[in-house]
Amino acid sequence: MSGVSRFGVSLESTLLDSFDGLIKQKGYRNRSEAIRDLIRGFLVEKEWQQDIETVGVLSLVYSHHARELQEKLSGMQHDYHEAVVSSTHIHLDEANCLEVVILKGKSSIISSISEKLSSTRGVKHGKLIMTTTGSDID
């Protein structure tokens, strides 16, 4: 367990007002909580830029009726089986499928797999959440 440090921040009151409005809207209980999240976000971003071992969660929404699409997406995941930790398929409704793919590995590889899957013809929406296993982020 590491200790908690306090620090002061100076900024224009208009900027602080906007920040307070936004954090209230987002449901943060206080500024410290919001700032902690922002800092963690920066650290995750830094890890992704450094191309070290990290984690990504990719969601794909696609048409159930698109020909051979599910086989195609599954084939790509087999090609990168070392990075694909898990994938879950949900039948959203009569016509649409949601697939959630958890990826682990170098950020460049996770990004490239995600781009390939998302840009496959028939995929309506692909969104990658970049997260981290980072030991330096509590």
How do strand 123-131 and strand 96-106 relate by DSSP bridges? unpaired
Segment 19 to 78, residues that bind Ni ion, using CB under 5 A: 64
Report the residue number, 96 or 111, with the smaller CB distance to Ni ion: 96
- Rg of the Cα atoms in the chain: 19
Q: Does 97 bind Ni ion (CB under 5 A)?
A: yes
Minimum CB separation of residue 78 from Ni ion in Å reads: 18
Selected range binding Ni ion among 53-61, 80-88, 94-102, 122-130, rule: CB under 5 A:
94-102
Report the residue number, 61 or 137, with the smaller CB distance to Ni ion: 61
- Concatenated DSSP letters of 96-125: EEEEEEEEEEEHHHHHHHHHHHHTSTTEEE
